[in-house]
Every structure is written in structure tokens, then in C-alpha cells.
């Protein structure tokens, strides 16, 4: 008999989990609190308790070729980086294309997930759901938790002495929707992450003054990267990941820094990370440097204290007559419907094998999808995680023994601190992680073989962007369109920006090159003559 799986949430991760469960023949039911798919990308005018909340101007920071599900490219007419409303449309298309909607119970919240008394034998869960005030208990063979992790604000007020004396207004960025209410005000944004940078830039256009306070700085990447290509098409490649792995740490640090400093010198802008070798996740913002150089955003260090009307920074400078503080201080993880002991370790930190499986359960029948954050987009990551999870649940894949998983987690914790700094964001190297998980289900690209059988494709897989389609090229769940999608990815990227026909001056450019080559010796000779 097909196993019964509960999928909690119908955001990016929930949709992937539902699709992958159905694909492998499990009987799946998805419960979604809201009345629509999309989770975080379903913009709401007011923040709702227990749900993610974004500001109106959120755009994706991964491009369309990197932020799609691996077997469902984003429509050609969509731009490379999408406004949240556009990306939400894509998620709806995905749900319709794979006929997922009839498996989703909307306006139904999961309020409790508990092991059944015979869990060690059956691995079954009691799942209590609530719909229109009525609760219902259902037994499930497995649970896929896809509830997101940009929900519960992290607002460490104790680290900001004097905040309770402060007479102005303060909010978490979760409650920030648009700049209209803040026109003409003196604003302080605390925290230099993607949200903090976006909000500061946006406020800078209409507020009276905007100060952005950062404790540790950050590298700023822009969506428009080398030659105008999306940053991730250029940077997230197997070749780059390979270099990172084989080069000595000092060399790869140097290369990384040089890349980040290419557009502007971060120390001149007051942004340079305090500890460069920590490789804190970069912030994506195309306009922050412009705002700083135009004076609409001023960067300051950490806050020492607040007074009734002002903020005092650690360098002794003061921002007077402050109207509103926006804390862009991130989120913390919570799964209020289940016992913390299921997903958290003894230090009360979320600790999951490969970011997916709780290592101590007697039966591997619960998985968390979409928690790992890597530099790439979430959809492909959720897709491979979900494919792996459903195979483990179905018994087609096995997890290592409990001790091995726990040891590996302890080791990883040390390493991650080294790689991305803020280990609590569970960040990880995109290509390495994707290859690792996909190797468990045999769908990682087999490069040496590919170079023999299809060199053109292999070249693009290795040197080109590590796009999601690579993980549906072979193995179970293989998608026949994957090869074509990979070979066409650059064309689609260019087509998304080139809406006006342009004549390509190829001839003239090669003539110019020829001329340069002819004239160079002449020029050198002239210089030589002039000198002697």
C-alpha cells in the first residue's frame, strides 16, 4: 500500500515536496495555512503571525535560469531577476502544470505533529490540523516539514541598551512594506543583510536621512555581473567550485576578495567585512554603492546605545532626532507544532543531517525541506532534498547509522563557521551540496562519461552555470528537456534583456582587433624611438 505523507506548507519547498512525493507514487496531502501557494512570495499588505512577510519591492536575487525547478524552466517572457509578484506567478504555473492543487488543503494549519506510541516500529505520526476552527487528527506514515525560515523575527533588544527609553518608533523589517510612511523622516536601519540593504536604499530616495548600521560589514555583489550577465550565471559554476576546492585557502581568499572589490573598494565605502577570511555570505544589492556615493545612505558601525531621541554608535558619533528604527536583524527558526527535541540538538540549535533529517529519530520518517541556504536559488535545492527524502521514506535509500550522522554534524559545525561565518544561517557551498545530495539518488551529472558521450553538453555543465537542469539530466526523475535547457540557457538569459533588435557589429569589432594587432608593434616602436 502506498505510504501516506503529510507535506506542511505550500511555498517553494512544499510544492517541490508534494510533487516529488506524487512522482514516486506516495500518497501525499499538503496542508497550507494560507489560501494560495507561494509562501513567502505571496505578498501581503500586512504581516500575519506565523507566516513570512516581505516588503513590496523584493526581487529575486538568483536569476531565472538558476531559480527554477529543474524540470520546469521559467517562461521566456519573464525577466532574469523577478519581482516577487512575477515569481509567484511562476510558482502558480508549476502547481498547475504538475496538477498539485487538488492535493493541497488550503486554510488548513498543522497545529501538532507527534510520534505515535508505536513510533519505533511503524515510524508513524499523529498530525492534528485545524480548518475553520475545527481540529482533525490524521495518522501519517511520514511528514515533510516545509514551513519556511523567514517567519519568526530575531530581535535581540538586549544588545541595544536604551532601546526601551527611545521615544521614536521601532519595528522589525518583517513589518516594513514600503517607503511611503517614512518620507521626510530620519531613519536608522540596523543590519546589513539583503533586507537591510534593500530597505536603506529604498528609504534613501524619500526619507530625510538614512543611516545603515552594521556590526561586521559585508561584501556587496550586484545582480548585474561581468559583461552584464547575472552574477550567478558567471560565478556559480562547477569550475569555480573546483578551483575553490583545490586552491590553497590563501589563494582562493585572495581571488574571492579581488572579485568582490572589482566594482568598488569596500573599505572606501565603509562596508568591508571585519573579518574577510570568514567569507560571510555576500549581500546582493545593485544600488547600495550608488546610494552611498550620492549620500542618501550613510554607513555607520554598531550601535552603542539609544537615548530618548538619538542613537549613539560605537565610534562615538550620534544620530540626533531619530524618528524610526528598522531592525533588519534576521530570523530565528521555530517549529511550534512539534517538540524541539525532534529537530534541535542539546545546544538548542537546529541540527539536521545534511540539513534535512533529524539524526536521532528511531525511523527516518520526518524531513525538513528548504532549510539549507546556499548561494543558489532555493527551488533546485528543495527539489533534490525532496527527491532524496521521499526515497528514504519509501525505503529506496538508506541513511547512515545514527552515530555517523551525529559525528558528521559535529564536524560540519566547525567547518561552516570557517566557510561562511554566521553558522546559524546554515549556509553551504551550492555546487558541493547539490552534488552531495543528488549523488544519494544517483542524479548527479556523471561528468567523465558525459565528456566522452556528449562533449558539448559536458563542457557547458562544467564551465557553464551549475543550473538546476543538471540535476534532472539522468537518474530517476530524469527530465527529457534538461539537455536542451542547458544548451539554451545563455540564449534565454540574453533574450530576457534584449527586447530591441540590435545589429551585431561582429565584422567591425574583428577589424578593430586586427588594427590593434597591426598597430601595437608600430606604437611600441614609436615609443622606443621617442625614448632613445
Q: Which residues bind ligand NAG (CB under 6 A)?
A: 261, 265, 267-268, 275, 277-278, 418, 487-488, 491
Q: Which residues fall within 8 angstroms of residue 150, CB to CB, at 6 or more apart?
A: 40, 52, 331
268 binds, among ligand NAG, ligand FAD, none (CB under 5 to 8 A by kind): ligand NAG
Interacting residues with ligand FAD between 277 and 306 (CB under 6 A) = none
Q: Give the residues across from 109 on adjacent strands.
A: 130
Task: Report the residue from 199, 352, 378, 434 that binds ligand FAD according to the rule CB under 6 A.
Answer: 378
Nearer to ligand NAG, 222 or 488 (CB): 488
Backbone angles phi, psi at 269, to 5 degrees: -100, 5
Q: Greatest CA span in the chain, whole angstroms?
A: 95
Q: Which three cell numbers stand for residue 31?
A: 496542508
Nearest alpha-carbon partner for 38 in 61, 6, 60: 60
Least Å from the CB of residue 489 to ligand NAG: 9
Between 192 and 211, how does the x/- string for binding to ligand FAD read (CB under 6 A)?
--xx----------------
Half-sphere exposure for 32 (CA within 13 Å, toward CB): 26
Least Å from the CB of residue 267 to ligand NAG: 5
Nearer to ligand FAD, 166 or 225 (CB): 225
Nearer to ligand FAD, 197 or 289 (CB): 197
Nearer to ligand FAD, 33 or 115 (CB): 33
Nearer to ligand NAG, 265 or 321 (CB): 265
Least Å from the CB of residue 450 to ligand FAD: 27
DSSP-assigned states of every residue in 146-203: ---SSSEE---GGGSTTTTT--SEEEEGGG---GGGGTT-EEEEE--SHHHHHHHHHH
SS3 136: strand
Q: Which residues fall within 8 angstroms of residue 304, CB to CB, at 6 or more apart?
A: 161, 312, 313, 314
C-alpha 48/C-alpha 106 separation (Å) is 16
Segment (H or E) for 318: strand 318-319
Interacting residues with ligand FAD between 320 and 349 (CB under 6 A) = 337
Interacting residues with ligand FAD between 129 and 148 (CB under 6 A) = 146-148
SS3 329: coil
Least Å from the CB of residue 340 to ligand FAD: 15
Q: Give the strand pairing for 324-327 and 318-319.
A: unpaired
C-alpha 268/C-alpha 245 separation (Å) is 31
Interacting residues with ligand FAD between 74 and 133 (CB under 6 A) = 109-110
364 binds, among ligand FAD, ligand NAG, none (CB under 5 to 8 A by kind): none
Exposed/middle/buried for 262, CB within 10 Å: 0-12, 13-18, 19+?
exposed
Backbone angles phi, psi at 111, to 5 degrees: -105, -20
Nearer to ligand FAD, 166 or 337 (CB): 337
109 binds, among ligand FAD, ligand NAG, none (CB under 5 to 8 A by kind): ligand FAD
Least Å from the CB of residue 504 to ligand NAG: 9
SS3 323: coil
Interacting residues with ligand FAD between 466 and 495 (CB under 6 A) = none
Between 28 and 67, how does the x/- string for binding to ligand FAD read (CB under 6 A)?
---xxxx----xxx---------xx-x---x-xxx----x
What torsion, rounded to 10 degrees, do the Cα atoms 502, 508, 512, 514 define?
A: 130
8-state DSSP, 215: S
33 binds, among ligand FAD, ligand NAG, none (CB under 5 to 8 A by kind): ligand FAD
For ligand FAD (CB under 6 A), the number of binding residues is: 34
Q: Tell me if 376 sits within 8 A of 359, measured CB to CB.
A: no
Q: Which three cell numbers stand for residue 398?
A: 538508506
SS3 364: coil
Task: Report the residue from 5, 6, 7, 10 that binds ligand FAD according to the rule CB under 6 A.
Answer: 10
488 binds, among ligand FAD, ligand NAG, none (CB under 5 to 8 A by kind): ligand NAG
Q: Which residues fall within 8 angstroms of residue 283, CB to CB, at 6 or more apart?
A: 192, 193, 194, 197, 218, 219, 220, 221
Nearest alpha-carbon partner for 279 in 305, 306, 260, 296: 260
Nearer to ligand FAD, 311 or 429 (CB): 429
Determine the length of the chain.
532
Between 346 and 365, how does the x/- string for binding to ligand FAD read (CB under 6 A)?
--------------------
Least Å from the CB of residue 275 to ligand NAG: 4
277 binds, among ligand NAG, ligand FAD, none (CB under 5 to 8 A by kind): ligand NAG
Least Å from the CB of residue 508 to ligand NAG: 18
Least Å from the CB of residue 354 to ligand FAD: 16
SS3 335: coil
Nearer to ligand NAG, 106 or 462 (CB): 462
372 binds, among ligand NAG, ligand FAD, none (CB under 5 to 8 A by kind): none
C-alpha 375/C-alpha 11 separation (Å) is 19
Least Å from the CB of residue 289 to ligand NAG: 13
Least Å from the CB of residue 343 to ligand NAG: 26
Which residues of the shown chain bind ligand FAD in the complex (CB under 6 A)?
8-14, 31-34, 39-41, 51-52, 54, 58, 60-62, 67, 109-110, 146-148, 150, 194-195, 337, 370, 377-378
Amino acid at each position: 500500500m502506498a505510504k501516506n505523507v503529510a507535506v506542511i506548507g505550500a511555498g517553494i519547498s512544499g510544492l517541490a515536496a508534494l510533487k516529488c512525493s506524487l512522482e514516486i507514487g506516495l500518497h501525499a496531502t499538503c496542508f497550507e495555512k494560507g489560501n494560495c501557494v507561494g509562501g513567502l512570495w505571496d505578498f501581503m499588505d500586512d504581516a500575519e503571525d506565523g507566516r513570512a512577510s516581505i516588503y513590496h519591492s523584493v526581487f529575486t536575487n538568483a536569476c531565472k535560469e538558476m531559480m527554477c525547478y529543474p524540470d520546469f524552466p521559467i517562461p521566456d517572457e519573464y525577466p532574469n531577476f523577478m519581482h516577487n509578484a512575477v515569481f509567484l506567478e511562476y510558482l502558480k504555473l508549476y502547481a498547475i502544470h504538475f496538477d498539485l492543487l487538488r492535493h493541497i488543503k488550503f486554510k488548513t494549519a498543522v497545529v501538532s505533529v507527534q510520534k505515535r506510541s508505536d513510533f519505533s516500529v511503524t515510524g508513524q505520526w499523529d498530525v492534528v490540523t485545524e480548518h475553520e476552527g475545527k481540529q482533525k487528527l490524521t495518522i501519517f506514515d511520514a511528514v515533510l516539514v516545509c514551513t519556511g525560515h523567514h517567519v519568526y523575527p530575531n530581535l535581540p533588544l538586549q544588545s541595544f541598551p536604551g532601546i526601551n527609553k527611545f521615544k521614536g518608533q521601532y519595528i522589525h523589517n518583517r513589518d516594513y512594506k514600503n517607503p511611503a510612511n517614512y518620507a521626510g523622516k530620519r531613519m536608522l536601519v540596523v543590519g546589513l543583510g539583503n533586507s537591510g540593504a534593500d530597505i536603506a536604499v529604498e528609504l534613501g530616495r524619500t526619507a530625510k536621512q538614512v543611516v545603515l548600521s552594521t556590526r561586521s560589514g559585508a561584501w556587496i555583489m550586484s545582480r548585474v555581473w561581468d559583461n552584464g550577465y547575472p552574477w550567478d550565471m558567471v560565478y556559480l559554476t562547477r569550475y569555480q567550485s573546483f578551483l575553490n576546492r583545490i586552491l590553497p585557502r590563501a589563494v582562493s581568499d585572495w581571488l574571492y576578495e579581488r572579485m568582490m572589490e572589482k566594482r568598488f573598494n569596500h573599505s572606501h565605502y565603509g562596508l568591508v567585512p571585519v573579518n574577510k577570511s570568514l567569507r560571510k555570505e555576500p549581500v546582493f544589492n545593485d544600488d547600495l554603492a550608488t546610494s552611498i556615493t550620492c549620500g542618501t545612505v550613510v554607513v555607520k558601525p554598531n550601535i552603542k546605545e539609544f537615548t530618548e531621541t538619538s542613537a549613539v554608535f560605537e565610534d562615538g558619533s550620534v544620530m540626533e532626532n531619530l524618528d524610526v528604527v528598522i531592525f533588519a536583524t534576521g530570523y530565528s527558526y521555530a517549529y511550534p507544532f512539534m517538540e524541539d527535541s525532534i529537530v534541535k540538538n542539546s545546544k538548542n540549535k537546529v541540527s539536521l543531517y545534511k540539513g534535512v533529517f533529524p539524526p536521532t529519530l528511531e525511523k527516518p520518517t520526518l524531513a525538513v525541506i528548504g532549510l539549507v541556504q546556499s548561494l543558489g536559488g532555493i527551488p533546485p535545492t528543495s527539489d533534490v532534498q525532496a527527491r532524496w527524502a521521499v526515497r528514504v521514506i519509501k525505503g529506496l535509500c538508506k541513511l547512515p547509522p545514527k552515530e555517523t550522522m551525529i559525528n558528521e554534524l559535529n564536524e560540519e559545525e566547525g567547518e561552516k563557521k570557517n566557510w561562511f561565518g554566521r553558522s546559524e544561517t546554515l549556509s553551504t557551498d551550492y555546487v558541493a551540496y547539490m552534488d552531495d545530495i543528488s549523488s544519494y539518488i544517483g542524479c548527479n551529472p556523471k561528468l567523465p562519461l558525459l565528456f566522452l558521450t556528449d562533449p558539448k553538453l559536458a563542457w557547458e555543465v562544467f564551465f557553464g552555470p551549475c543550473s538546476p537542469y543538471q540535476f534532472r539530466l539522468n537518474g530517476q526523475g530524469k527530465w527529457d528537456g534538461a539537455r536542451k535547457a542547458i544548451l539554451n540557457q545563455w540564449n534565454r538569459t540574453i533574450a530576457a534583456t534584449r527586447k530591441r533588435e540590435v545589429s551585431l557589429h561582429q565584422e567591425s569589432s574583428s577589424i578593430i582587433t586586427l588594427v590593434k594587432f597591426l598597430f601595437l608593434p608600430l606604437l611600441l616602436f614609436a615609443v622606443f624611438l621617442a625614448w632613445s
